[in-house]
């Protein structure tokens, strides 16, 4: 078991690995997308995204099961119970094979409905789309049965191998995009689907072979099915799935409500806001992915104090990572959107600004979610917090029905997110003994001065200077001010010592 200092260093290392991977794969993916679009054409590329989108809805199940397996593996790594870790892995493996078979069977059972008129696909491409759908179903199966292995890598905090596989996937995608030019146009879509399915098989092989060789608890021999354990894993994953669906239902439900009252133009603005906010949230989720195993292991070690402290650190740094990007963008939103989109749909600036504020509010307590998961008692948490988030739908409908303007919807979004934040605090006090006073002192109050300093800087620049690409100056200066304010006023003593130690190591290596 690592010492707290080693664990902290490992978290920072993993965070750096994940961010480096994210930047590299993002660049490769954006370029590959352009190549694929040019090779397939707009129509076939639209067919691919339509079918991939239908199947992508199952990713919520996949994500929920990953968190479930990782939680149990991390928890029992903390307890040091190797036999239980092995039992969890083998039963998770059986469970995911079963889920994969059921999901693929359901996908094939849905084919007559989907291709019988539900999906708007040109008649001459129906047969091609069906073949593509079959390849995508294969991809889903191998993605699902990869979960126990990726969960094991997360539990062991081996983000390096995950990053390596993700980079290999991106390189394969680029190779696939380049190779499409060798095929005749009618066959390119089928070839693309086949290659993408092959990529998921390669990824599964890389994950599974590494884990089977590296980690002794990862074994598929002598499997003994433990029905109570499978039931527990499924129940935990089910409540995680419920929470994820509440978040998605909130986002997509508002889109439906807006469409009912205002049509597609407002939907376009809302969609752009969600697209941008999702990218910004990735900064926080990447850090959280590196910190989650430590939060769960601490609970397994019966070190509730350390678990809650890590949850506070995750909340604080999750907020900082989002705010450092979101605040300058809010001040320079019109210029940035015009440069990116050229023709900016009405309401886009307003939706983006309020959505960013809602995201920053959510980040204030983002570390409390894995803290709740680490206890294993998430039914009440997901029911209450998820239910609060879903209130956005009826409230948005009522506000628009009584004739209030569209801005009322995003104001209610921000308000409900703030209520959910307060509820998370009080629920974690009840569930795990979180000290709300400590949370305010070590998280909220420490965030106040850096945020005020950054807001003041952005306000002064945007009111004093008027020139093209001013957002570059706003971003550069405000980020410097924000980082300085974080170091001198935003960090607690233990956090500052860790930062100083890491800076010292970096400077020492350069000499």
Q: Cβ(170)–Cβ(29) under 8 Å?
A: yes
Taking only the tens place, the pLDDT of each residue in 7-64 is 556 666 666 776 677 777 767 766 776 677 677 776 666 666 666 655 555 555 666 6
Please tell me whether residues 220 and 287 are part of one structural domain: no
**Closest by CA position to 36, among listed 201, 173, 184, 197:** 173
Residue 467: count other Cβ atoms within 10 Å of its Cβ: 6
How far is 40 from 36, CA to CA, in rounded Å?
6
Instruction: Dump the DSSP string for 122-188.
Output: -GGGHHHHHHHHHHHHHHHHHHHHTHHHHHHHHHTT-HHHHHHHHHHHHHHHHHHHHHGGGS-HHHH
Please tell me whether residues 322 and 367 are part of one structural domain: yes
Q: pLDDT at position 415, please?
A: 95
Please tell me whether residues 186 and 250 are part of one structural domain: no
For residue 58, report the phi and psi dihedrals to the nearest 5 degrees: -75, -10
How far is 6 from 12, CA to CA, in rounded Å?
10
Two tokens, residue 205: 């092989």
Please tell me whether residues 362 and 479 are part of one structural domain: yes
Q: Which of 192, 225, 258 is the last residue of a domain?
A: 225
Going 146 to 75 to 370 to 162, the CA torsion angle's sign is negative
Q: Which of 208, 225, 242 is the last residue of a domain?
A: 225
Q: pLDDT at position 508, please?
A: 58
- Name the maximum alpha-carbon separation found in the chain: 71
Please tell me whether residues 218 and 255 are part of one structural domain: no
How far is 241 from 246, CA to CA, in rounded Å?
9
- Count of structural domains within the chain: 2
How far is 474 from 12, CA to CA, in rounded Å?
28
Q: Which residues contact 73 (CB under 8 A, 6 or more apart)?
A: 85, 88, 89, 151, 152, 155, 217
Q: pLDDT at position 9, please?
A: 61
Please tell me whether residues 219 and 263 are part of one structural domain: no
Q: pLDDT at position 458, please?
A: 96
* pLDDT beneath 70: ranges in the chain: 1-15, 18-19, 26, 29-30, 33-34, 37, 42-65, 118-120, 264-265, 498, 501-511
Please tell me whether residues 345 and 364 are part of one structural domain: yes
The string over 168-182, giving b where at least 16 C-beta atoms fall within 10 Å of a residue's C-beta and e elsewhere, is ebbebbbebbeebee
Please tell me whether residues 287 and 171 are part of one structural domain: no
Q: pLDDT at position 110, please?
A: 83
Please tell me whether residues 408 and 274 are part of one structural domain: yes
Q: Cβ(155)–Cβ(70) under 8 Å?
A: yes
Q: What is the mean pLDDT of the chain?
A: 82
Structural domain boundaries, residue 111: 1-225
pTM of the model: 0.76
Please tell me whether residues 192 and 251 are part of one structural domain: no
Q: pLDDT at position 162, please?
A: 83
Q: 6 exposed, middle or buried (CB, 10 Å; 0-12, 13-18, 19+)?
A: exposed
Q: Output 27-31 pairs: Cβ under 8 A, ≥24 positions apart.
A: 28/170, 28/171, 28/173, 28/174, 29/170, 29/173, 31/174
Please tell me whether residues 56 and 200 are part of one structural domain: yes
How far is 115 from 117, CA to CA, in rounded Å?
6
How far is 474 from 334, CA to CA, in rounded Å?
13
Q: Which residues contact 220 (CB under 8 A, 6 or more apart)?
A: 90, 93, 212
Q: Which of 225, 245, 262 is the last residue of a domain?
A: 225
Q: Cβ(326)–Cβ(356) under 8 Å?
A: yes
**Closest by CA position to 489, among listed 457, 436, 444:** 444
Please tell me whether residues 219 and 237 are part of one structural domain: no
Two tokens, residue 150: 């990726």
**Closest by CA position to 56, among listed 128, 113, 122, 133:** 133
Q: pLDDT at position 454, please?
A: 96
């Amino acid at each position: 078991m690592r010492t707290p200092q080693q664990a902290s260093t490992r978290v920072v290392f993993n965070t750096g690995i994940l961010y480096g991977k994210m930047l590299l794969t993002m660049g490769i993916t954006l370029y590959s997308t352009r190549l694929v679009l040019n090779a397939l054409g707009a129509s076939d590329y639209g067919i691919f995204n339509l079918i991939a989108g239908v199947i992508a809805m199952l990713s919520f199940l996949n994500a929920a099961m990953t968190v479930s397996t990782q939680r149990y593996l991390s928890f029992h790594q903390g307890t040091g119970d190797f036999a239980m870790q092995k039992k969890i892995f083998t039963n998770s493996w059986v469970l995911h094979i079963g889920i994969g078979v059921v999901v693929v069977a359901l996908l094939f059972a849905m084919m007559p409905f989907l291709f019988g008129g539900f999906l708007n696909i040109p008649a001459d491409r129906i047969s091609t789309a069906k073949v593509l759908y079959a390849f995508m179903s294969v991809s889903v199966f191998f993605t699902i049965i990869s979960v126990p292995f990726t969960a094991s890598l997360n539990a062991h905090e081996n983000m390096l191998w995950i990053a390596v596989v993700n980079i290999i996937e991106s390189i394969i995608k680029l190779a696939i995009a380049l190779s499409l030019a060798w095929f005749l146009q009618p066959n390119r879509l089928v070839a693309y689907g086949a290659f993408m399915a092959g990529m998921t098989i390669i990824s599964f092989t890389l994950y599974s072979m590494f884990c089977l060789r590296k980690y002794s608890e990862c074994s598929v021999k002598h499997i003994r099915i433990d029905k109570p354990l499978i039931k527990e894993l499924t129940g935990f994953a089910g409540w995680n799935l419920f929470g994820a669906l509440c978040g998605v239902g909130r986002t997509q439900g508002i889109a439906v409500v807006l469409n009912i009252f205002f049509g597609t133009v407002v939907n376009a603005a809302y969609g752009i806001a969600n697209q941008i906010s999702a990218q910004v949230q990735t900064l926080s989720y990447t850090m959280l992915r590196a910190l989650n195993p430590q939060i769960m292991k601490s609970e397994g070690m019966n070190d509730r104090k350390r678990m809650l402290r890590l949850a506070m650190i995750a909340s604080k740094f999750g907020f900082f990572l989002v705010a450092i990007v979101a605040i300058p963008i809010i001040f320079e939103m019109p210029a940035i959107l015009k440069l990116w989109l050229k023709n900016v749909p009405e309401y886009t600036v307003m939706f983006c600004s309020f959505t960013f504020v809602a995201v920053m509010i959510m980040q204030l307590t983002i570390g409390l979610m894995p803290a709740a998961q680490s206890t294993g008692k998430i039914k009440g948490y997901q029911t209450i917090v998820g239910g609060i988030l879903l209130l956005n739908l009826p409230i948005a409908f009522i506000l628009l029905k009584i004739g209030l303007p569209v801005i009322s919807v995003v104001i209610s979004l921000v308000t409900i997110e703030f209520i959910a934040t307060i509820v998370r605090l009080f629920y974690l006090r009840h569930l795990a003994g979180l000290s709300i006073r400590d949370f305010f002192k070590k998280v909220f109050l420490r965030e106040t001065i850096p945020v005020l300093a950054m807001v003041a800087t952005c306000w002064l620049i945007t009111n004093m200077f008027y020139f093209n690409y001013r957002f570059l100056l706003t971003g550069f200066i405000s980020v410097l001010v924000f980082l300085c304010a974080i170091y001198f006023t935003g960090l607690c003593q233990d956090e500052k010592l860790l930062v100083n130690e890491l800076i010292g190591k970096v400077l020492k290596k350069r000499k």
